[in-house]
Amino acid sequence: MTLVLACSAAFVAAVIQRITGLGFVLVLVGPIVLLYGPLEGVTIGVLLALVASLTAIPLVWKQIEWRRAWWLIWPGLLAAPFGALLVRVLPEPALLLLIAAMAYFALLAGRMPALSASLRGRTGAVVAGSAAGFMHVASGLSGPPLAAYAVGDGWPQRRFAASVQVIFAVFSVVSVALRGLPASPVPDVWTLVAATAGGIAIGTILSRHVAPGIARKAMLAIAWAGATVVLVRGILALLS
């Protein structure tokens, strides 16, 4: 049953990712952490995020802005080891609370105009890239600082959504290298990978018929519910 629920979550997250360009880990992190725990759950999440990005890159290749993406990637590579260190030293209740906090930040960052206004130019790219690299290794949730930079720097949505797939892919490779591969059985991991790739394929078809706004509302509803349940579980684990 755990595998079925995890595959369903990965499939839905991949569909939403393909339609909106963002939100894979934001949708996935709540269910996957509840099913597998904060350490294994995020480890699986970043591996599946790599699959989702690599599957999406050929579909958006012509819109990718490589130089702009690089200015977000290299600061993230420098910050990523600190995220891995934090994960190693925190106990499970603290990890749950950290993941919940990052999920809430991801959901609220878009409502902070001052954040976007402060992230522009090369300096803004370095700050946003560093935060994204750190957050990706720690929780898989690297989207908010990248999206805030895109808004602040006036990056057209379509080109940003394409370019960010490369950034997610690089950060996911680094995260897998730093965190290691999932401890779950190999057949289970491959089944989750297949569910993710299938979600991208179905999302490509649905993107012609489903408005991004509808997919975004579904993404937010799932993400808010997942973050809240993870927060409650973290508080209960802390008190027990």
Note the pLDDT tens digit of each residue in 29-42.
888 888 998 889 88
pLDDT in the model for residue 215: 67
Indicate the angle between helix axes 38-60 and 2-20, nearest 10 degrees.
Answer: 40
Tokens encoding 135: 């957050």
pLDDT in the model for residue 124: 82
Residue 127 has a CB neighbour count (10 Å cut-off) of 17
Tokens encoding 145: 């600082």
DSSP 181: S
Percentage of the chain lying above the pLDDT 70 cut:
90
Note the pLDDT tens digit of each residue in 205-222.
887 777 767 766 766 676
More confident residue, 8 or 154: 8
More confident residue, 100 or 42: 42
More confident residue, 234 or 184: 184
Q: What is the distance between the alpha carbons of residues 125 and 75, in angstroms, rounded to a whole number?
A: 8
pLDDT in the model for residue 194: 95
Q: Can you tell me the mean pLDDT for 33-61? A: 89
Phi first, then psi: give them for residue 207, nearest 5 degrees. Answer: -60, -20
Specify whether the CB–CB gap between 35 and 49 falls below 8 A.
no
Q: What is the distance between the alpha carbons of residues 194 and 87, in angstroms, rounded to a whole number?
A: 27
**If you average pLDDT over every residue of the chain, what do you get?**
84
Centroid of chain to Cα 58: 19
Q: What is the distance between the alpha carbons of residues 221 and 27, in angstroms, rounded to a whole number?
A: 9
pLDDT in the model for residue 187: 93
